[in-house]
Amino acid sequence: MTGTLASPTELDLDSYRVQVEARLEAFLAGKGRAARSQAFPTRAVEELRSFFAAGGKRIRPLLCACGWHAAGGGPEPAGLVSAGAALEMFHAFALIHDDVMDRSDTRRGQPTVHRCMATEFTRTHPRAEVEQLGIGAAILIGDLALTWSDELLHAVGLDPDRLAAALSLIDEMRTEVMYGQYLDLTGSARLEARTDLPLTVIRYKTAKYTVERPLQLGATLAGADKRLLDDLSAFAIPLGEAFQLRDDLLGIFGDPGETGKSRLDDLREGKYTVLVALALAAADERQEADLRATLGNQAIGETDAERAREIMTATGAAEGVERMIGERYREALDALTAAALPAPADHALRTIAHAAAWRRS
Amino acid sequence: MTGTLASPTELDLDSYRVQVEARLEAFLAGKGRAARSQAFPTRAVEELRSFFAAGGKRIRPLLCACGWHAAGGGPEPAGLVSAGAALEMFHAFALIHDDVMDRSDTRRGQPTVHRCMATEFTRTHPRAEVEQLGIGAAILIGDLALTWSDELLHAVGLDPDRLAAALSLIDEMRTEVMYGQYLDLTGSARLEARTDLPLTVIRYKTAKYTVERPLQLGATLAGADKRLLDDLSAFAIPLGEAFQLRDDLLGIFGDPGETGKSRLDDLREGKYTVLVALALAAADERQEADLRATLGNQAIGETDAERAREIMTATGAAEGVERMIGERYREALDALTAAALPAPADHALRTIAHAAAWRRS
């Protein structure tokens, strides 16, 4: 998706993305030097550098830049690059802690931070302690990322009143995504035939966090008024929902050669998605029993997964999710048209919207 | 210690502490209302309210107020109360995550947050999942406390230049305490006869975090110059070290009737303190073997603990730590005299220093 996202016709988002990545790298290099000068271990810094080097779409910084241009803010200043880097650093925190909570083994094709650290501790600590130490270290590395995300924000500079408004938005965003994760964490033990819980999780964990707040942050730093923030929200929420619904479909039906991830993970984890809820709601007794036996079962193989896919297709659940994506995509574009943004921002957001809703990876 | 700390002759720190607690309560009440209005679970907010209600010395906010007065700031403004509340909210984050990393069962005489949450989940989730869910929820509740500590800081108001300097101090403080905890977490598996690691942990996890940075924060908000910040540091570091060295002694030799905590916990945890390092350094073969058999052994009872105390006394380790406390206390008071602070701040800090170094609880 990165390639498509990063090359809209008129805004040079590719160059912005490179600057954000350079800012993260320079910031962490500084943290490494500071740690060495105080005789602190540099391992935490190195973990974060590897984490960023392993990939990521940088979608939140890119949307932050779009928000800036939507509000008519000229060429991106250095402060906007810091703001984008702060969003990406916050995202590292969120993923590292999520992976601890879910006890995930891989992220971006690499071992997760708590797995890396556990391996590291086998060299110095008793075998029986390394798993818990790895988790402890990953919690701390996440905490550092959250704190350093703040530090990047404090360095944004720009207009103090706009910065205060931006910090207030960021405070909202953080609380929302944490509540979303709380609901996701505590709700996943009970798979039900209702879409309200997964839709709430999508709203807070993806739509607001990934699309709405980054757009509004950029716009706020460029001095946007309430009306523009609302217009951006009307575009962002349905698009963010479409983005996550597509993610859920790709997790079950995607081509692993294109997505780069296994089609078994979401099933094994028993991920409570809208797709699952719709399938449970329309399943007959036999289908429901088969689906429940598959979801959350670590031992399933491709045959079980194929049966789950059959059920999701036969019940009309997959088609239902496709329909929801289409509705939300159109709703987002209508909102964009109504917003009548400056042409470069409008164009960039249309490109991003298309890629987000109809991507294959 | 609270009673003595809170009642120096001239500053009304008791009233300030009450205001900080009221601010925390009002802030969390607002978060509870906001959560209900968005159909978010209010359990995270309730956990934090119970956490504050269970106690705590509020020493960091009190030192923040002392720093304000040391810099000649007049009556404490509302912004200083928010700053104190932010320090206490950050401390809640630090303790909740520390307890997860150490798998501690109790804090302030109550079950720790991950234990409370695990118990809560037994009502709704399968038995096999509740421990991990409790840990996940506690990580999130800590994350919320860290984020909300920021939100309280952003509400400090006061002079923008001073606030920017204060945020920069807070950024330093957070990174330091996280590195201190990282060293504490990863170093504790190797008990050695060297005091450099426990002294480094004491410096960052207690001396800077608990004393130096809160004092400097208050002073910065009142417009202190670099010289005053250095003077406060010269007082704070030795005092903070004395405070923690006393804590380590009380953990082994204290009267449980006065301290409110068991004299077995630190031994069972195998806490790597200066006291332990000094004892190992001076122990003969038999003493070292006995000490190592006791430290980190969950199964020990009062007889083993008594033997450990004998060794710590016979090796001169306990006396050595007492001597270090005395030296640091005098160093702190000399620094205070040299700083020539306004009389009310000077008096309050002398009272706090005496209580911190010579307390029995």
Taking one residue from A and the other from B, the number of pairs with CB-CB distance under 8 angstroms is 122
CA A209 to chain centre: 8
How far apart (Å, rounded) are the C-alpha atoms in residues B96 and B107?
Answer: 9
DSSP B262: -
From A103, A148, A178, residue closest to B143, measured CB to CB: A178
pLDDT tens, A310-343? 999 999 999 999 999 999 999 999 999 999 999 9
Searching chain B, which residue's CA lies closest to the CA of residue A42?
B179
Q: What is the mean pLDDT of residues A170-184?
A: 94
Q: Is B111 helix (H, G, I), strand (E, B) or coil?
A: strand
Which residues of chain A are within 8 Å of residue B270 when distances are taken between CB atoms?
Answer: none
Searching chain B, which residue's CA lies closest to the CA of residue A31?
B175
CB-based contact A175 B147, cutoff 8 Å: yes
Cβ atoms within 10 Å, residue A69: 28
How far apart (Å, rounded) are the C-alpha atoms in residues A36 and A335?
Answer: 51
pLDDT on residue B258: 82
pLDDT on residue A103: 87
Residues composing chain B? 361
From B126, B171, B189, residue closest to A126, measured CB to CB: B189
pLDDT tens, A74-115? 888 999 999 999 999 999 999 999 999 988 888 887 899 999
From B35, B154, B160, residue closest to A168, measured CB to CB: B154
pLDDT on residue B262: 82
pLDDT on residue B48: 97
Alpha carbon of A170: minimum distance to chain B alpha carbons (Å): 9
- CATH code for A2-358? 1.10.600.10
CA B120 to chain centre: 27
pLDDT tens, B329-350? 999 999 999 999 999 999 999 9
How far apart (Å, rounded) are the C-alpha atoms in residues B131 and B49?
Answer: 22
Alpha carbon of B338 to those of B228, B232, B233, B236: distances in Å?
11, 10, 12, 13
Alpha carbon of B38: minimum distance to chain A alpha carbons (Å): 10
CB-based contact A171 B121, cutoff 8 Å: no
pLDDT on residue B191: 85
Percent of chain A exceeding pLDDT 90 equals 78
What is the domain partition of chain B in residue ranges? Answer: 2-358
Element (H, E) at B128: none
Q: Are strands A110-111 and A106-107 parallel, antiparallel or unpaired?
A: antiparallel
CB-based contact A147 B97, cutoff 8 Å: no
Sequence letter at residue A298: Q
Quote the ipTM score. 0.92
Task: Return the minimum-mean-pLDDT range out of A200-209, A283-292, B104-113.
Answer: B104-113
Element (H, E) at A111: strand A110-111
Instruction: List all residues 6 or more positions away from B310 whose beta carbon is below 8 Å from its beta carbon.
Output: none
Which residues of chain A are within 8 Å of residue B167 when distances are taken between CB atoms?
Answer: 154
DSSP A283: -
Q: Is residue B309 within 8 Å of residue B252, measured between CB atoms?
A: yes
pLDDT tens, B205-246? 999 999 999 999 999 999 999 999 999 999 999 999 999 999
